[in-house]
Chains A and B, each alone.
Chain A
Amino acid sequence: MDVSWKDTGGTLQSAKGTRHAAAWAATTQVAPAYKGKQRGVFGSYLVVNKDASVMEFWGYKAGTAEWALLFTTTAVAELQLLGSHEYYYWPGRSMLLARLGDGASFRFWRFAADFQTIAAATNEGPLVEKRITQTDLALLQVNGRIAVPPVFWGDYAAFYCTDENQATLVREGWIRIYKYSTQMY
C-alpha cells in the first residue's frame, strides 16, 4: 500500500521514496484550477466549475445586457464534478444535468424560467419547493463516453455513447434513450 506524507521539513515522502512521492503529488488534484475552462452554455446562461465541487451560474441579467454571476452552488463533498464541459439543459424537466466525477452519473439542478428570481432570493423559505439545489434528486447514470451532446424532447433524452463492447472488444456506439421517471427523485 502506498502511503504518502510530508516530513517535518515539508518535503513530500512516501513508502516508496521521495521520487515516487513527487510523482504522486504531480498526479493528485491539489488545487482547484477549473474556473473558466468550461463551456456549459444554454440560452443566455453559462455554467463553469469554480472548483471540483462548486458550480457557478453566469448569465445576462433578465432584461439587461449585464453579464453577472447569478448563483453559486453549495459544495457537497460527495458530489464531485467531472470538471469538463458536460452540462446539459433538459428543458422538458426544467433541469440542468451536471456530470459527476465518477464519469457516469448526472446530478440534477433545477433550472427554469424563474431561475434568476429564485437565485436572487435571500429567504428561501417560501421558495423551498423551487430551490435550485434539490438535494432529494437522485442520479441519472449514462455509461460510456458521450460522443455528441444529448438532445431532449419533453420527458425523453437521447444520448449517443461509445464504449468497448466487452463481448467483441470492439469500440462501438450506442443510442441510449431515457424517459423521465418520478423514480429519478
Chain B
Amino acid sequence: MVSAETSTAYAAYSLVALGADGFAFKEAAKPTIYRYALDAAYTVSTTPELVGAYPSTCAETATGTSSVAADKAACAAVSALATPAACTAVITAAAFAVSGTTKACTYVYAASAGTTDAAAKAAFVMQQVSQDPSTYVAVTAPTLPAVPAIYGWMNDAAFFKLTWDLATTKLTATDIVPVPAKYRVQMSPEHVSFAATRVGILSPVNCAATTPLTTLVS
C-alpha cells in the first residue's frame, strides 16, 4: 500500500513496467518513485535517484552515411556543451531542416526540459509505449518478454526516453526530444500517448470564431 490519497490528479500518476525488475510507480505531485519488485513479497523500495542525475552531454550521433554534413558540423561545434541552449537548437533545427528526421546530435540534459528542482521532480510523469496485438511477440520461459520503452517529461518543452538500470536503481535519460515551439502545448498525461514510433499529443484549441474565449478546450 502506498501513502494515503492526497491528490485527485489521477492521470498524473505514473505506472510503468520494468520487466523482471518489477513495476515503477510515482504519485502525482510527489517526487519519490517506488519500485515494486517481483519477488515473493513484491518488495517496495523508494528510488529517489530515478529523478534527476541525468548526464549532461551533447554528443554527435549521426555519423557516416546517416549524417548530414551541415548538421554534423553544427553539432560538433557545440559538442563541448559550452552552450547547452545551442546544442538543443542544433537538434531542433536538424529535425526540421537539413537532415529531416535524422538527428545530428543527442543532447541529454535535464535542464533543457525544465529544472530538476523539487517542483520539477514532483511534476515528472512517466509513460510507457502501448502494446500492439499485431506486433507483440509472445515468448516462452526462460525467455523474457521485451519491456516497452519508457518516456517521461517534466514540462511541455521536451520529453525524455528513459532507461532503467537495476544496479544503480536509476531511470536515466538516454535521449531527449525537444517539442518544437509551434507544437508546444501543455502535456497533460491524459493527452499524451506514446506508440512504437510516434507520440501523440492532444492539443487544446480555441474554437471561437468571433468571440475570444479565455478557456481552452481539448
Residues of chain A at the chain B interface (Cβ within 8 Å): 42-45, 62, 89, 91-92, 94, 111-113, 115, 147-154, 156, 158, 160, 162, 165, 170-175, 177
Tell me the nearest residue of chain B to A177, going by C-beta: B42
Majority secondary structure, A binding face: strand
Min Cβ gap B143→A in Å is: 10
Q: What per-residue 1/0 map shows which CB atoms of B126-147 lie under 8 Å from chain A?
A: 0010111111101000001101
Taking a contact as CB atoms closer than 8 A, the residue among A44, A92, A175 that contacts B134 in the complex is A44
| B residues 73-114 in Cβ contact with A at 8 Å | none
Inside 8 A of B15's CB, which chain A residues have their CB?
148-151, 158, 160, 175
A89, B136: Cα distance in complex, Å? 11
Look across to chain B and name the residue whose beta carbon is closest to the beta carbon of A95.
B133
**Alpha-carbon separation in the docked complex, A44 to B136 (Å):** 12
A91 CB → nearest B CB, Å = 4
B interface vs A, CB < 8 Å?
Answer: 1-5, 10-11, 13-19, 23, 25, 27, 34, 36, 38, 42, 44, 128, 130-136, 138, 144-145, 147
Q: Is the CB of B25 within 8 A of A175?
A: yes
| A89 partner residues in chain B, CB cutoff 8 A | 130-131, 133
Q: 4 other contacts beyond A62-B134, A151-B128, A173-B4, with CB at 8 A cut-off?
A: A151-B23, A153-B145, A165-B4, A174-B1
**What A residues does B38 contact at CB under 8 A?**
156, 177
Please give, as numbers and ranges, the residues of chain B lying within 8 Å of A150 by CB-CB distance. Answer: 15
A112 and B133 CA atoms in complex are apart in Å by 6
Q: Which residues of B contact A172 (CB under 8 A)?
A: 1-5
B136 / chain A contacts, CB cutoff of 8 Å? 91, 94, 113
* Chain B interface helix/strand/loop/mixed: loop
Cβ contact within 8 Å between A111 and B133: yes
Q: How far is the CA of A43 from the CA of B148 in the complex (A)?
A: 13
Q: Given A153-B19, A175-B23, are A43 and B42 also a contact pair (CB < 8 Å)? A: no
The smallest C-beta distance from A17 to any residue of chain B, in angstroms, reads: 39
The smallest C-beta distance from A86 to any residue of chain B, in angstroms, reads 13
Cα separation A177 to B18 with both chains bound (whole Å):
13
Task: Give min CB distance, B129 to chain A, whole Å.
Answer: 11
Are B133 and A153 in touch, CB under 8 angstroms? no
Partner of A94, one of B1, B23, B133, B147: B133
The chain B residue with its CB closest to the CB of A147 is B10
Pick the contact of B5 from A45, A94, A154, A173 — CB < 8 Å? Answer: A173
Contact B5 A160 (CB under 8 A): no
Q: Which residues of chain B come closer than 8 Å to A171, judged between CB atoms?
A: 4-5
Which of B13, B130, B144, B145 sits near A43, CB closer than 8 Å?
Answer: B130
Inter-chain contact B131/A170, CB cutoff 8 Å: no
**In the complex, chain B residues whose CB is within 8 Å of the CB of A111:** 133
- Which chain A residues lie closer than 8 Å to B145 at the CB level? 91-92, 153-154
| A148-B13 contact given A94-B138, A153-B147, A170-B5, CB 8 Å threshold | yes
Q: Are B36 and A158 in contact (CB under 8 A)?
A: yes
When the two chains form their complex, are residues B23 and A177 in contact, meaning their CB atoms are under 8 A apart? yes
B131 touches A42 (CB 8 A): yes
Q: Is the CB of B132 within 8 A of A175?
A: no
Between B11, B14, B25, B133, the greatest number of chain A beta carbons within 10 A of the residue's beta carbon is seen for: B133
Assembled-state Cα–Cα distance A171/B34 (Å): 20
B134 lies within 8 A of A174 (CB): no
Is B2 in contact with A175, judged by CB distance below 8 angstroms? yes
27 inter-chain pairs at a CB distance below 8 angstroms, sorted by A residue, are A43-B131, A43-B133, A43-B135, A44-B132, A89-B131, A91-B131, A113-B133, A113-B136, A147-B13, A148-B10, A148-B15, A149-B15, A150-B15, A151-B16, A151-B128, A152-B131, A153-B23, A153-B147, A158-B36, A160-B25, A170-B4, A172-B2, A172-B5, A173-B2, A175-B2, A175-B36, A177-B38
Taking the closest CB of chain A, its distance from the CB of B117, in whole angstroms, is 25
